[in-house]
């Protein structure tokens, strides 16, 4: 195993028919899964160039720099690609909540055969 970096080209990733790849944001400090969103080839490039995680908004058909309007920034620590090159893992430092519901994680609902359970409350304002 070599730890020497080899050149990375976002074109080597496997994108869906819309030109997107799923990206999971994970808190680098505690391992919490924060959210999942979509990235395009250009948003992958922008993320690597700026260190600010940049997604592709399917609803707005535009780049979405996480925290640009909310202040809840995701600073990229490390980007990883899975074995099939069709999913990304963004290890980030998250400022404030990651979810638009003002929760730390978008994955705040537990599901079992018994039903759904809310696992976390929204963060206090100003968090």
pTM for the model stands at 0.90
Going by pLDDT thresholds of 50, 70 and 90, the confidence category of residue 120 is: very high
Count of CB atoms situated within 10 Å of the CB of 107: 16
Q: Print burial letters for 64-95: b (CB count within 10 Å at least 16), e (below 16).
A: bbbbeeeebbbbbeebebeeeeebbbbbbebe
Going by pLDDT thresholds of 50, 70 and 90, the confidence category of residue 5 is: confident
The pLDDT, as a whole number, for residue 124 is 86
The pLDDT, as a whole number, for residue 4 is 84
Task: Give the model confidence (pLDDT) of 16-60 as tens digits.
Answer: 999 999 999 999 999 999 999 999 999 999 999 999 999 999 999
Backbone angles phi, psi at 44, to 5 degrees: -60, -45
Q: Residue 126: pLDDT above 70?
A: no
């Amino acid at each position: 195993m070599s730890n020497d970096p080899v050149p990375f080209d976002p074109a080597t990733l496997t994108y869906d028919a819309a030109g997107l790849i799923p990206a999971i944001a994970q808190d680098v400090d505690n391992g919490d899964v924060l959210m999942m969103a979509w990235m395009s080839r250009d948003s992958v490039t922008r993320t690597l160039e700026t260190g600010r995680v940049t997604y592709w908004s399917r609803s707005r058909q535009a780049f979405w720099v996480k925290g640009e309007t909310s202040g809840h920034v995701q600073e990229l620590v490390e980007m990883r690609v899975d074995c099939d090159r069709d999913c990304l893992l963004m290890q980030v430092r998250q400022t404030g909540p990651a979810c638009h519901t003002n929760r730390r994680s978008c994955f705040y609902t537990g599901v079992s055969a018994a039903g759904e359970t809310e696992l976390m409350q929204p963060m206090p304002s100003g968090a």
